[in-house]
Amino acid sequence: MSKTHIKLTVNGREVDVLAEPRMLLIHVLREELNLTGAHIGCETSHCGACTVDMNGKSVKSCTVFAAQANGAEITTIEGMAGADGSLHPLQEAFREHHGLQCGFCTPGMITRAHRLLQENPDPTDEEIRMGISGNLCRCTGYQNIVKAIRAAADEMQATKEAAE
97 interacts with ligand FES by CB under 6 A: no
Q: Considering only the stretches 7-15, 98-106, 123-131, 147-155, report the one whose residues sit in contact with ligand FES under the rule CB under 6 A.
A: 98-106
- Rounded to whole angstroms, how far apart are CA atoms 45 and 59? 9
110 interacts with ligand FES by CB under 6 A: no
> Please, which residue, 28 or 105, has the CB nearer to ligand FES?
105
Q: Binder to ligand FES among 8, 17, 35, 50 (CB under 6 A)?
A: 50
Least distance (Å) between residue 122 CB and ligand FES: 25
Task: Give the CB-side neighbour count of residue 28, counting CA atoms within 13 A.
Answer: 32
> Please, which residue, 57 or 160, has the CB nearer to ligand FES?
57
> Please, which residue, 10 or 59, has the CB nearer to ligand FES?
59
Inter-residue contact 106 to 161 (CB < 8 Å): no
- Rounded to whole angstroms, how far apart are CA atoms 87 and 119? 21
Q: Binder to ligand FES among 9, 32, 37, 43 (CB under 6 A)?
A: 43
37 interacts with ligand FES by CB under 6 A: no
Helix (H/G/I), strand (E/B), else coil: 60? strand
87's CB contacts (< 8 A; 6+ apart) are 80, 81, 95
- Rounded to whole angstroms, how far apart are CA atoms 54 and 10? 9
For residue 33, count other CB atoms closer than 10 A to its CB: 17
Q: Considering only the stretches 11-19, 73-81, 84-92, 131-139, report the one whose residues sit in contact with ligand FES under the rule CB under 6 A.
A: 131-139
- Rounded to whole angstroms, how far apart are CA atoms 76 and 53? 7
> Please, which residue, 143 or 157, has the CB nearer to ligand FES?
143
Least distance (Å) between residue 132 CB and ligand FES: 11
- Rounded to whole angstroms, how far apart are CA atoms 27 and 17? 12
Q: Which residues bind ligand FES (CB under 6 A)?
A: 40-43, 45-50, 60, 62, 100-106, 137-140
